[in-house]
Every structure is written in C-alpha cells, then in structure tokens.
Amino acid sequence: MARFLIVEARFYDTFNDLLVSGARAALAEAGHEVETICVPGALEIPGAIALASESGRYDGFVALGVVIRGETYHFEIVAGESARGILALTMDGVPIGNGILTVENEAQARVRADPAEKDKGGEAARAAIRLLELKNNFSGN
C-alpha cells in the first residue's frame, strides 16, 4: 500500500468534487491511502507537490483542477505553466498523475470530470499509480 496526496486547485467546486471523487475511488480500489489538500489555483499545484515530495510522506501525487478558457491570454499561461511544472517534477522522478482539465467551457469540464463519463480524476490517479509502479520497478523495490 502506498500513500498518495491529491493536490487540487479548488476553484470550481462542482467539477472539483467530481474529479476528487473519481481519483479517490481509483486509489481506494487499488488499496492505497490518500490525503487531499487544496491550493488557490492550478499554478500553485506544482509548488505544493514539490514541497510535499520533499517531506517524504507521500509516494505519489494526483494533480486536479479545472482551467476554463476566458477572454484573456491568462488561460494559456495557467494551462501551459502548470503542465510544465508538473512535467518537470515527473522528469525528476516524482510520480504524478495530471488531472488538470483545460477546457473551453463548463459543459466540457462536466463531462471530463464526471466519474460516470470521462473520469479524468480517476484516470489521473491510475496514471500516478502506474508511474509509482514503474519507479519502484526501476529502483528494485
């Protein structure tokens, strides 16, 4: 059994509830422990994961949030930089499943977040589990 931390950018409550539900279900089904923390936005997710990773208390991480395109360039910055930060940590060996939705509208977010539909929260959790398995295999654990 491994210990996972869900780091969520709690901005759209309804969609986040769905994402977290899917992620928790996938982690529970695999027999893992899980905790959840909230950060202000998607840009803060990589920083929170980096800090938590340094603590040594967690084996893997699930990044969850929703970024909906607006009228300004801010969407591109948040979507791109949060993904870049997560990828950099993953390249350093931190097992992270990226479930940050980057969508055009709320309808797209609902379909992707809902565990009964696309279940992107569950998908991100399963990705984190698989990356942890690979890390353990490569390190001989």
Q: Does the predicted model carry a pTM greater than 0.85?
A: yes
pLDDT of residue 141: 66
Binding-site residues for 5-amino-6-(D-ribitylamino)uracil sit at: 11, 42-44, 66-68, 98
* Residues designated as active site: 74
The total of other beta-carbon atoms located within 10 Å of residue 98's CB is 22
Return d(Cα 67, Cα 106) in angstroms, integer.
10
- Alpha-carbon distances of 120 from 67, 72, 102, rounded to whole Å: 14, 25, 11
Q: What is the mean pLDDT of each run of 10 residues along the chain (141 residues)?
A: 96 95 98 97 97 98 95 86 97 97 96 98 98 93 66
The count of domains in the chain is 1
| CATH code for position 23 | 3.40.50.960
pLDDT of residue 105: 96
pLDDT of residue 63: 98
Determine the structural domain holding residue 85 and report its residue range: 3-139
Binding-site residues for (2S)-2-hydroxy-3-oxobutyl phosphate sit at: 71-72, 112
The total of other beta-carbon atoms located within 10 Å of residue 55's CB is 8
Return d(Cα 101, Cα 45) in angstroms, integer.
13
